[in-house]
Amino acid sequence: MLTITNTLNFTGLSIAGDYKDLDTLYMSLLTIIGDEGEYGDYEGARLRVLGVMHDIRHAFQGVREFEFVRNEW
């Protein structure tokens, strides 16, 4: 299960989930953003989403700080 919470002082987000959850989020965002120049008026928002995707990709690689969260069914 994917969990998103605000950081201290509401300056960012903390996204928690297992590998499959983050991979699903990554692939969903990749589908939504489209190709460069496809949505001209939304290029700024597209770049912000690409930044989030960059951080998720680095989390896959173990470069970003992570916290172990147990999946309980």
Residue 31, CA distances (Å) to 18, 21, 38, 44, 66 in order: 20, 16, 13, 17, 25
pLDDT at position 71: 67
pLDDT tens for 5-29 read: 998 999 988 888 888 888 999 999 9
Backbone dihedral angles phi then psi of residue 4, each to the nearest 5 degrees: -125, 125
Q: Could you give the count of Cα atoms lying within 13 Å of 32 in the half-sphere of its Cβ?
A: 14
| 57 falls within a domain | yes
pTM of the model: 0.77
Q: How many domains does the chain have?
A: 1
| 49 falls within a domain | yes
Rounded-to-integer distance, Cα 63 and Cα 8, Å: 22
| 32 falls within a domain | yes
Amino acid in position 1 = M
Domain range holding 60? Answer: 17-73
| 11 falls within a domain | no
| 34 falls within a domain | yes
| 54 falls within a domain | yes
pLDDT tens for 30-43 read: 999 988 888 888 89
